[in-house]
Structure 1
């Protein structure tokens, strides 16, 4: 099972011109080669950092975004790392 976490760019947050092109070209590979893909919106992550977490310093925004993404990945993959009866299995999502 191949599981990926992909961050899609946003024109409000992006500082690189080629980000939308890279994301568009990469979608084909995701559809073709991946079993499960968790898509993360860069603008939504940025809004969570500044509105919900009340972070105001734009200089450390990349570190904060990376920390938020790592918390998301840790929460989603918890059932794979700590198998319990209460935890649902990601493989069950493939059957739905």
Structure 2
């Protein structure tokens, strides 16, 4: 199902979004099994891992400090060919 979802949604993502984070479930399973030592990770475990990563990515957007930024700066630094 995942390849179909990715294939069918790519046109809408290209046309309607400025930033997209692609997440590979298989890679998340490997991280949970090898790094976190979970024998049988659930989708809840995968979601927790993704939420921790996204929280880290957006920390500079949510808290003041020297590394303070905004979504535009994040897009400028992350998107090599903006539309």
1:79 paired to 2:60: yes
Coordinate RMSD, CA, aligned: 1.7
Distance in 2, matches of 1:49 and 1:31, equals: 30
Superposition deviation, residue 54 in structure 1: 0.5
Which aligned segments of 4 or more residues in structure 1 are displaced greater than 4 angstroms?
Answer: none
> So what's the TM-score if we normalise by structure 1?
0.69
Show structure 1 runs of 5+ residues with no match. 1-17
Show structure 2 runs of 5+ residues with no match. 78-83
Judging by fraction of residues, say which structure has more helix: 2
Judging by fraction of residues, say which structure has more strand: 1
> So what's the TM-score if we normalise by structure 2?
0.78
Find the residue that maps to 1:86 and give its secondary structure. Answer: coil
